[in-house]
């Protein structure tokens, strides 16, 4: 039960984090994968050349690439490690490259998360304004007493208009959504605007 409650509280922010991860993969995933592949091949090949005569286990380039991946991710299994001076320097360089790559990925994810969180907070504020315009001084009692479905139904038309305008639909660009009043008359007026705009599409 406690896990379910925690999940309900964290759901919006969990979704934001998941979307940030997805957008990071879509936006920079291919570039990161290419850079990681090139760095792995280069460091693995160089380590093999430095250590192939040192009897340190680097008997092939693929094993050097395995060591490179383990080192760049700072896992460090300890099954392979350099024994030459050149190998030590290459190991330090590989660790630093891995840390830089990890920091870059975290920064990108963080930026996407901040952008999505800002959009989420703006949407919450927009919904609060719409609800205030509808219920006025009864805002607090209505939000606490009505169900989510009833609250959504009271601002459904405004949200649809805002979504169309935000999506760049040219039919809705002249609708002053940001300057709205409350009450049933306004809602009915907005509903007629939406229906009229919808009919203009056909």
Q: Which one has a higher pLDDT value, 114 or 125?
A: 114
The mean pLDDT of the chain is 75
Q: Reply yes or no on whether the pLDDT at 54 is more than 70.
A: yes
Q: Which one has a higher pLDDT value, 57 or 189?
A: 57
Cα angle 96, 100, 101; round to 5: 115
Nearest-angstrom CA–CA distance, 38 and 33:
9
* Contact call for residues 194 and 157 (beta carbons, < 8 A): yes
Least confident of 4-13, 23-32, 83-92: 4-13
Nearest one of 113, 100, 99 to 24, comparing CA atoms: 113
At 27, the pLDDT band (50, 70, 90 cuts) reads confident
Q: What's the gap between Cα 139 and its chain centre?
A: 32
Q: What is the pLDDT of residue 119?
A: 85
The string over 101-119, giving b where at least 16 C-beta atoms fall within 10 Å of a residue's C-beta and e elsewhere, is: beeeeeebbeebbeebeee
Q: What is the pLDDT of residue 178?
A: 47
Q: Which one has a higher pLDDT value, 31 or 171?
A: 31
Q: Reply yes or no on whether the pLDDT at 193 is more than 50.
A: no
Domains of the chain in start order, with CATH, are 2-120 (1.10.287.70), 126-200 (no CATH)
Q: Which one has a higher pLDDT value, 202 or 154?
A: 154
Q: Which one has a higher pLDDT value, 180 or 156?
A: 156
Q: What is the pLDDT of residue 123?
A: 78
Q: Which one has a higher pLDDT value, 66 or 124?
A: 66
Q: Cβ contacts of residue 193 below 8 Å, gap of 6+? A: 161, 175
């Amino acid at each position: 039960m406690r896990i379910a409650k925690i999940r309900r509280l964290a759901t919006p922010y969990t979704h934001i984090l998941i979307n940030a991860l997805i957008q990071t993969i879509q936006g920079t995933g291919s570039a990161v994968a290419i850079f990681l592949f090139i760095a792995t091949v280069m460091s693995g090949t160089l380590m093999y050349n430095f250590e192939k005569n040192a009897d340190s286990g680097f008997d092939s380039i693929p094993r050097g690439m395995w060591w490179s991946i383990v080192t760049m991710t700072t896992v460090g299994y300890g099954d392979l490690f350099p024994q030459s001076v050149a190998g030590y320097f290459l190991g330090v360089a590989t660790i630093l490259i891995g840390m830089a790559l990890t920091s870059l990925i975290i920064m990108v994810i963080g930026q996407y998360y901040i952008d999505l969180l800002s959009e989420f907070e703006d949407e919450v504020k927009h919904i609060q304004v719409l609800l205030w315009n509808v219920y006025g001084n009864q805002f607090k009692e209505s939000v606490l007493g009505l169900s989510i479905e009833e609250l959504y139904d009271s601002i459904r038309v405004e949200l649809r208009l805002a979504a169309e305008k935000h999506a760049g639909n040219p039919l809705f660009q002249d609708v002053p959504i940001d300057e709205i009043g409350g009450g049933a008359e306004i809602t009915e007026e907005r509903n007629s605007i939406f229906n009229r705009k919808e009919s203009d599409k056909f």
